[in-house]
């Protein structure tokens, strides 16, 4: 428990951080970035996306799995959590309210029941205690370390060690990027007074990092001539009343070559139990679809490929079903060229998934490789009918705007010779 002196300092800093746009607390004042970019790696065995921050005093490197829907940052604390700047959060405090935490534990410690492992969906029965500590983020400048930004009283949740099961090896917790006022993008935005938004650009090369950019662009990429990518399309974010921290969009149809895939449209809306609809999640390596939607999509796609190109279907390569002999597909200079899979959104906006995001090159043995439709069967009762996964976001720039409740997105950057792995980190800080 902090002394009451510390308690008041804590509240004072919190109020400064959240309610002042012109004053800063002393430790955050010296350097105020317009945006902050973090390199994003992919864990080779789980395919989870990870990023690193520094936490505690003295600082420790904390690798975290990224999750779009998790409401806050959580780390396993346990006995090895040593930090002179660690402060538990008291029941009834502004931080407790901000985090919408409703449990009060012994010693007046504010706790939340929303703590959950996004991979296993396991929640510890005792919930998680709220605390604050220093977080530092190393900005990257080209191949050099850039300046370090400091968030003095970062609000996070302490989890038991066992909750790490199912996360990538070496990871200490989850960086929650959710639609809440205590998620990483929200706390960075309020600390540095920049926009409550973040962008993701996932690399399609396993060994090269993509980027997670908090705050405003510009989004600059290295190429023969430096390019700035702007977002051509936006669509409103939809709120799921049961899972308000997740990012949903209003897909009304799936369309291939001007024809709507015949599906049960009621699966595309969110029902009173919070099931159905279309959400985004980078926890899943590939887009998942409710069985009937999945089957309808494969049938339609397969018909078009067979009719238009006489493409030859080959044995499935798990987790995919619709796989094709590579020599029977049409090509352009960037790879196979098949009809786009379009997600139809409100106001005539369409999310075009081109072959770079719809086909996965899969190998069973040296002699057996195929291009497979990169979507996975989600069974008959998934919580969302469509979950747009990481593969469909590779070499695409997506921007999650919490303040404006909208999602901005590009089509694949590959035809423009732009890769997420070439994001210019030194352009943003």
Ligand X SMILES: *[C@@H]1O[C@H](CO)[C@@H](O)[C@H](O)[C@H]1NC(C)=O
Q: What is the binding site for ligand X (CB under 6 A)?
A: 141-142, 144, 146-147, 181, 264, 266-267, 365, 367, 426, 429
- Tokens describing residue 137: 């983020």
**Minimum distance of ligand X from residue 23's CB (angstroms):** 17
Pairwise CA distance, residues 250 & 75, whole Å: 32
**Minimum distance of ligand X from residue 275's CB (angstroms):** 8
Q: Which is nearer to ligand X, 35 or 181 (CB)?
A: 181
**Minimum distance of ligand X from residue 340's CB (angstroms):** 26
Would you list the DSSP string of 155-195?
EEEEE-GGGGTTSPTT--EEEE--SSSSSHHHHHHHHHT--
Q: Which is nearer to ligand X, 21 or 332 (CB)?
A: 21
Q: Which is nearer to ligand X, 12 or 19 (CB)?
A: 19
Whether the ω angle into residue 319 lies within 30 degrees of 0, i.e. cis, is yes
Look at the chain and count its residues.
Answer: 429
Residues 6+ apart with CB under 8 A from 303: none
Residues 6+ apart with CB under 8 A from 160: 76, 78, 124, 126
Alpha carbon distances (Å) from 395 to 145, 244, 415: 24, 27, 10
Q: Which is nearer to ligand X, 252 or 426 (CB)?
A: 426
Q: Which is nearer to ligand X, 106 or 144 (CB)?
A: 144
Backbone angles phi, psi at 293, to 5 degrees: -70, -45
Would you list the DSSP string of 202-248?
B-SSTTS-EEEEEE---EEE-SSS-EEE---EEEEEEP-SSSTTS-E
Pairwise CA distance, residues 173 & 178, whole Å: 15
Q: Which is nearer to ligand X, 42 or 196 (CB)?
A: 196
**Minimum distance of ligand X from residue 375's CB (angstroms):** 19
Q: Which is nearer to ligand X, 124 or 274 (CB)?
A: 274
**Minimum distance of ligand X from residue 146's CB (angstroms):** 5
- Tokens describing residue 223: 């190429």
Q: Which residues pair with 365 in a beta bridge?
A: 368
**Minimum distance of ligand X from residue 43's CB (angstroms):** 29
Please report where in the chains the tokens 């199912």 appear, as a residue. Answer: 166
Q: Which is nearer to ligand X, 146 or 374 (CB)?
A: 146
**Minimum distance of ligand X from residue 100's CB (angstroms):** 6
Q: Which is nearer to ligand X, 267 or 413 (CB)?
A: 267
Q: Of all residues in the chain, what percent are helix, strand and coil, respectively (each to 5)?
A: 20, 35, 45
**Minimum distance of ligand X from residue 367's CB (angstroms):** 4
Pairwise CA distance, residues 313 & 321, whole Å: 10
Pairwise CA distance, residues 59 & 341, whole Å: 46
Q: Which is nearer to ligand X, 232 or 262 (CB)?
A: 262
**Minimum distance of ligand X from residue 201's CB (angstroms):** 20
Pairwise CA distance, residues 34 & 275, whole Å: 37
**Minimum distance of ligand X from residue 141's CB (angstroms):** 4
């Amino acid at each position: 428990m902090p002394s009451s002196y510390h308690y008041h300092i804590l509240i004072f800093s919190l109020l400064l951080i959240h309610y002042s746009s012109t004053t800063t607390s002393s430790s955050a004042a010296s350097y105020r970035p317009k945006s902050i970019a973090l390199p994003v790696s992919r864990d080779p065995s789980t395919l989870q996306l990870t990023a690193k921050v520094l936490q505690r005093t003295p600082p420790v490197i904390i690798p975290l799995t990224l999750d779009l829907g998790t409401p806050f940052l959580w780390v396993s604390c346990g006995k090895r959590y040593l930090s002179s700047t660690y402060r538990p959060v008291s029941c009834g405090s502004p931080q407790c309210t901000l985090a919408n935490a409703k449990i009060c534990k012994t010693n007046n410690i504010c706790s939340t029941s929303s703590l959950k492992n996004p991979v296993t969906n396991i929640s510890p029965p005792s919930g998680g205690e709220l605390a604050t500590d220093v977080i530092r983020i190393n900005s990257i400048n080209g191949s050099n370390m850039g300046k370090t930004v400091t968030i003095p009283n970062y609000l996070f949740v302490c989890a038991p060690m066992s909750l790490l099961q199912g996360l990538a090896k070496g990871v200490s917790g989850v960086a929650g990027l959710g639609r809440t006022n205590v998620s990483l993008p929200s706390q960075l935005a309020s600390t540095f007074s920049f926009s409550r938004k973040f962008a993701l650009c996932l690399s399609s090369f396993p060994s090269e990092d993509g980027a997670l950019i908090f705050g405003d662009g510009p989004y600059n990429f290295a190429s023969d001539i430096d390019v700035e990518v702007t977002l051509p399309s936006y669509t409103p974010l939809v709120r799921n009343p049961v899972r308000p921290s997740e990012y949903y969009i209003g897909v009304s149809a799936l369309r291939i070559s001007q024809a709507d895939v015949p599906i049960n449209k009621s699966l595309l809306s969110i029902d009173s139990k919070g099931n159905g609809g279309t959400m985004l999640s980078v926890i899943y390596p590939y887009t998942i679809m409710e069985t009937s939607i999945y089957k309808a999509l494969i049938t339609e796609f397969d018909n078009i490929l067979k009719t238009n190109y006489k493409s030859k279907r080959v044995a499935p390569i798990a987790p995919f079903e619709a796989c094709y002999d590579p020599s029977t597909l049409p090509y352009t200079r960037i790879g196979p060229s098949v009809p786009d899979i379009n997600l139809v959104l409100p106001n005539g906006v369409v999310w075009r998934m081109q072959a770079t995001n719809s086909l996965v090159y899969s190998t069973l043995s040296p002699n057996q490789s195929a291009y497979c439709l990169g979507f996975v069967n989600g069974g008959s009762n998934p919580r969302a009918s469509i979950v747009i996964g990481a593969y469909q976001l590779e070499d695409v720039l997506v921007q999650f705007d919490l303040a404006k409740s909208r999602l901005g997105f590009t089509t694949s950057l590959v035809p423009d010779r732009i890769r997420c792995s070439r994001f210019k980190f030194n352009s943003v800080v």
